[in-house]
Copies of this chain bind each other. A is one copy, B any other.
């Protein structure tokens, strides 16, 4: 099925289509044109994205919403649940532990680690903060496949190595530093300043800015 190389941004667009579809009734059909318009992408882009994953839809009739949701969820792996660990219980970790959007897509925070003795033993979201030293044993025991690094940048590389040794297969890294993982581990870096650059690009084009 996945023979062709799928661009990473096609995956992001699938997530967007999935968010739009969540607000649409299961019983109806939707044309590629309508879904494309709602998502802010072009009709041809949407059809190309979907054909990466085989045949969808009925020519001339569009897509059955229920079936399209099911297929996209299956491709994105959100038709199952994932046990997630949070590494770093600072402000960002605390915000993510309480972030409603994760549970909704099947991402369950099952462990939180920190090395601050005052935090260990406290409850965050639904779990008890554990000592970072517990990470290797605890991550294995809880069958953690996905970890989110919200620790300071100085610690990020060491934590990534620990996580990999503990059997974690995918890491979301919020620390603003480049980290390295074995090629079998999937790494996504979140750089929040990039989101702001998307805004400043538009404002700069319009000739704005607080100094030049």
Among A59-67, A101-109, A128-136, A155-163, the one that faces the other chain is A101-109
Give bound CA distance, A84 to B14, whole Å: 31
Give bound CA distance, A70 to B194, whole Å: 17
Q: Closest B-chain residue to A124, C-beta based?
A: B91
A48 close to chain B: CB less than 8 A: no
| Residue tally, chain A, CB below 8 Å to B | 71
**A76-B204, A82-B209, A108-B210 provided; 7 other pairs, C-beta below 8 A?**
A11-B201, A82-B196, A84-B196, A91-B91, A107-B193, A145-B210, A190-B192
Q: How many copies does the complex hold?
A: 2
Chain B residues in 8 Å Cβ range of A170: 199-200, 202-203
Partner of A107, one of B83, B106, B196: B196
B102 touching A193 by the CB < 8 A rule?
yes
Chain B residues in 8 Å Cβ range of A83: 210
If A92-B95, A193-B107 touch, whether A203 touches B186 (CB-CB below 8 Å) is yes
If A82-B210, A90-B95, A92-B91 touch, whether A76 touches B193 (CB-CB below 8 Å) is no
Partner of A192, one of B18, B99, B199, B201: B99
Q: How far is the CB of A30 from chain B (nearest CB, A)?
A: 17
A57 close to chain B: CB less than 8 A: no
Chain B residues in 8 Å Cβ range of A18: 197
Chain B residues in 8 Å Cβ range of A212: 79-80
If A77-B209, A80-B209, A204-B74 touch, whether A198 touches B146 (CB-CB below 8 Å) is no
A78 close to chain B: CB less than 8 A: yes
Chain B residues in 8 Å Cβ range of A98: 91
A82 touching B191 by the CB < 8 A rule?
no
A24 close to chain B: CB less than 8 A: no
